[in-house]
Amino acid sequence: MTALHTAATGLACVFVFISLAWVVQWRTANAGIVDAVWSWSLGFLGLLYALLGPAPEPQRLLLGLMAALWGLRLGLHLFLRNHGKPEDRRYRKFRDEWGAQANRNMFFFFHFQTLFAMLLSAAFLVAAYNPQPLASPWLLLAAAIWLVSVLGEGIADRQMERFRGNPANRGQVCREGLWRWSRHPNYFFECLHWLAYLPLALGSAWWPAALVSPLVMWFLLMRMSGIPILERHMAASKPGYAEYMRTTSALIPWPPKR
């Protein structure tokens, strides 16, 4: 199967997954399910490409494991975070603005995320169709970057959950653990994660296309739907957040300013 056919197969699968998520939000009036399904869909794409691609078996095995485990962990975290809770303020705002057209518009909004899922999966596709056998150090480098990023993101998520779970912290700014060094350490490790697939693409004529994935994730988090929207809300709702922004790195963990 050619890379184009594999990508088309992946697109069809993700379209179905996201459409099912849209049906769930239609029945529940809660669009938060798309966050988890989007992560699981990306993990599925990595696994699918690894199964169908012609790259040497060790490289495809590593690719499939890294993508599937990353997507499983992140999707499960997002699902548990949203399950049984009111709809996220981002989606509630859209629903209120769209009124009677909310469900129709949500369909197109959900599948706008399908587009980004396919762009992010570019690194998976290049790695799966890389015909060059890679030396062990490159495989170890990919695994090391992946391990640091997934563990780091998991630790950051856990620290924030523990902070939010303490009633004494209601309305306060989290400065515990990694959050003392970065305002968004989870986003930092998420960006780092997408660099883990670059070593698996080395030697491919399409290697530059693998750069699309980390660049798209950086754009999403830094310029589009991540930090800008979140920080506008946080600065307006939490006393001390403006000071936190002044003294603490936005993304890369760094010692805070005095």
Q: What is the pLDDT of residues 11-66, one digit of tens each?
A: 999 999 999 999 999 999 999 999 999 999 999 999 999 999 999 999 999 999 99
Identify the sign of the CA torsion 145, 43, 191, 80. negative
Q: What is the pLDDT of residues 171-222, one digit of tens each?
A: 889 999 999 999 999 999 999 999 999 999 999 999 999 999 999 999 989 8
Inter-helix orientation angle 57-82/136-164, to 10°? 10
How far is Cα of residue 141 from the mean position of the Cα atoms in its chain? 21
Rounded to two decimals, the pTM is 0.93
Taking CA atoms, 15 is separated from 107, 145, 170, 207, 242, in Å, by 11, 30, 39, 26, 40
Q: Which residues contact 206 (CB under 8 A, 6 or more apart)?
A: 126, 129
Q: Name the token pair of 7.
A: 């990508």
Taking the CA atoms of 194, 4, 110 and 236 in sequence, report the sign of the dihedral they define.
positive
